Structure 1
Amino acid sequence: MVTSFEASLQTISVHHVGNPLQDERYALSDAPISLKDEIIPRLLMQYFLTPFEKTNEVYHLMHPGGDLELNEIFHYCTTIFDDESKFHEVSEKIAKHLYSVSGHAKIKAGEVYIGHFSGVQLEGEQVDVVGIFKSENKETFLKVYPQEGGFGLDYEENAININKLDKGCLIFNTHKIDGYKVVVIDKTNGSNEAVYWKDEFLKLKVRNDNFNQTNNTLSIYKNFVTQKLDDEFEMSKADKIDLLNRSMKYFKEKDTFEMDEFTGEVLGNNEAIESFKTYKNQYEQEYDTKIPDTFEISDNAVKKQARVYKSVLKLDRNFHIYIHGDKDLIEKGFDDAKAMNYYKVYFKEEE
């Protein structure tokens, strides 16, 4: 979690970056923005830092070849941390780098802001931060102002909503040897153009901590139950939902994940257990991410996954059955007369 109540904005430069595929160019400013009063810095701090207060995933900068110095953002941030007098010069290079990776047809033009902050805290450590942000979506705002005899009404087009940050990242001046600590926000919905911010511009790798170990294990298990089990076992959707509910119950009640304990309590079938372990190993090899068999469970990761774990049984377009408890209280059958499937649900009281 990022906290910024003691943070201050030291300097900020703004440039414009277009899309080269749309024959759009970039435009660089001559100098950093002049921050003459207290209001603009306060609004900018709200716009840039507040969205990160609820982020949990921490990344590191990396390069596929293994040499961190080949990561452009790592090199540029190191230059700023070492010599702040080079800030604006480096901010221009960051804007040019962003332009060079903005080649997807759906990437929108927008302003890119590079800021140098002090006193930003992450995981109890307060350090300097380089922030890189991009605003792509503009809005129209109404302005009401007093005038003689009442009020006047005006509007502002192509304005920025400071409560909606499109893209941003904070690079913390700590753990340099690992590629610094990095938190990131990307509100892009489309999967094709979304990768350019994290993968091409920043080149990030997820830090393998207990948050990501918890998050990845729950994701792997969910995919295993919903996609893989059908290849090896005949299971109803109600049975799958029960397996998902049991896994979520385990993670909510336990402080520590133990692979053998988890698979024994949740799966309970030797063939299914071996299949899940194989599935997990394949994930680790494909994504080059080792998940230990024992780790501390992250409550924040469990809460995040709980939002996407589905316990709803959808029947045509007529009924939704929410399964939260004992699956033995629901039975599936087939009615020959109606030539339709049915579920029989047992309960004691109707609420």
Structure 2
Amino acid sequence: MVTFFEAALNKISVHHVGNKSQNEMYALSEHPVALKDDLISNLLKQYFLTPFEKTNEVYHLMHSSGDLALNEIHHFATQIFEYEDQFHQTSEQIAKYLYEVADHPKIKSGELYVAHFKNLQIEGEVLDALGIFKSENKETYLKVYPDKGGFNLDYEDNAININKLDKGCLIFNTAKEIGYKVVVIDNNTRGTEAAVYWKDGFLQLKIRNDSYNQTNNTLGVYKNFVTNKIDEDFEMTKADKIDLLNRSMKYFKEKETFDMDEFAGEVIGNEKAIESFKTFKSQYEQEFDTPIANTFEIAANAVKKQARVYKSVLKLDKNFHIYIHGDKDLIEKGFDDGKAMNYYKVYFKEEQ
């Protein structure tokens, strides 16, 4: 999605942002970082940009009121793109804004990097981009150095691992009127308000509803439907559920275009279940304000992503795992009265 083999790190400023709710302060640099050589520039590009090579989701900046002008990051990005000579002053404003909005007591303090890149590529378009990154987690590194005919050890405390970017975003100088194109990294997203401040509070993002997300959302909604909803209307074994999931994954892997009626007929089959799924899908669209079209081009990379979380394993106590990849009619469930235990009978022609 994002490539940077021709990219140049044009400018970078570094500030420290503490946690306001913990009475920590922020500290602003007086001037941008002077990049002393190509090595440090290349290391920074590796640290900041490599994580985005595998991102597929593209976002736009937005505001809950519907007025994009009220999104502060959109305002700051526009300033940097239009008035490059004000880069450092604008980076200070970005740091102050993060300090004000990231006020949950569990948010970690850290360094904020604001960078301006030239010749970054997204979706085949070569553009300038604003990068905003934050390092929250520090590590200790051992250093080995020659000493008196042998070697000695030292360490570097509170250092940054350039292979682990905590938080970051790239805002590309295109589609300004709808909130620019934005890609985001957030590797500390576990369940609390502190985990969502980067995307929701600071950047205020809305995901672009393209074929990737149409594919991803449809597979995700269907998985939730089969896993959590279908039991309300039908008695189904776990093997039956796995079969439904396998059939849906087969459909998405073999087809180039999704068609709701075709999918419903080939994968779900039962009219009552079809109506239940359509209602479930509609409720998702309303709750998350994310419409899913009845027809769209299937994105293979989204199918690959969802395939990792689609379960085809039937776990039986702690003794057996049965992997179901094909015809569910070759597996039968029963109950043994003598042993008072459930069992599965599996039919096959050859043992491999």
Same fold (TM over 0.5): yes
Could you tell which deviates more after superposition, 187-196 or 177-186? 187-196
TM-score by length of 1: 0.98
Map of 2:75 onto structure 1: 75
Rounded to whole Å, the distance in 1 between the matches of 2:289 and 2:51 is 30
Rounded to whole Å, the distance in 2 between the matches of 1:4 and 1:203 is 25
For 2:332, what is the secondary structure of its paired residue? strand
Shift of 1:146: 2.1
Map of 2:117 onto structure 1: 117
Q: Does the alignment pair 1:261 with 2:262?
A: yes
For 2:102, what is the secondary structure of its paired residue? coil
Could you tell which deviates more after superposition, 20-29 or 38-47? 20-29
Instruction: Indicate the percent of aligned positions where both proteins have the same amino acid.
Output: 74
Deviations 1:17-66 (A, max 9, x none): 11122221111111111112111111000000111001000000000101
Map of 2:252 onto structure 1: 251
Map of 1:32 onto structure 2: 32
Shift of 1:199: 0.7
TM-score by length of 2: 0.98
| Conserved? CA contact 2:256–2:297, under 8 Å | yes
| Conserved? CA contact 2:16–2:111, under 8 Å | yes
**Match runs of 1:159-198 below 5 Å:** 159-192=159-192, 193-198=194-199
Map of 1:336 onto structure 2: 337
For 2:217, what is the secondary structure of its paired residue? helix
Deviations 1:276-329 (A, max 9, x none): 111111111111111111100000100110011111111122221111111111
Map of 2:10 onto structure 1: 10
Shift of 1:74: 0.3
Map of 1:297 onto structure 2: 298
Shift of 1:104: 1.9
Shift of 1:147: 2.9
**Match runs of 1:1-351 below 5 Å:** 1-192=1-192, 193-351=194-352
| Conserved? CA contact 2:6–2:120, under 8 Å | yes
Deviations 1:184-242 (A, max 9, x none): 00001422122111111100001010000000000000001001101111111110010
Deviations 1:153-198 (A, max 9, x none): 2111110000110110000000111100000000014221221111
Q: Superposition RMSD on alpha carbons, in Å?
A: 0.9
Rounded to whole Å, the distance in 2 between the matches of 1:100 and 1:271 is 51
Shift of 1:250: 0.3
Shift of 1:105: 2.5
| Conserved? CA contact 2:189–2:196, under 8 Å | no
Query: Gapped runs of 5+ residues in structure 2?
Result: none
For 1:284, what is the secondary structure of its paired residue? helix
Amino acid at match of 1:180: Y
For 1:191, what is the secondary structure of its paired residue? coil
Rounded to whole Å, the distance in 1 between the matches of 2:106 and 2:238 is 37
Rounded to whole Å, the distance in 1 between the matches of 2:351 and 2:246 is 22
For 1:263, what is the secondary structure of its paired residue? helix
Could you tell which deviates more after superposition, 143-152 or 162-171? 143-152
Query: Gapped runs of 5+ residues in structure 1?
Result: none
Deviations 1:57-82 (A, max 9, x none): 00000001011110010000001000
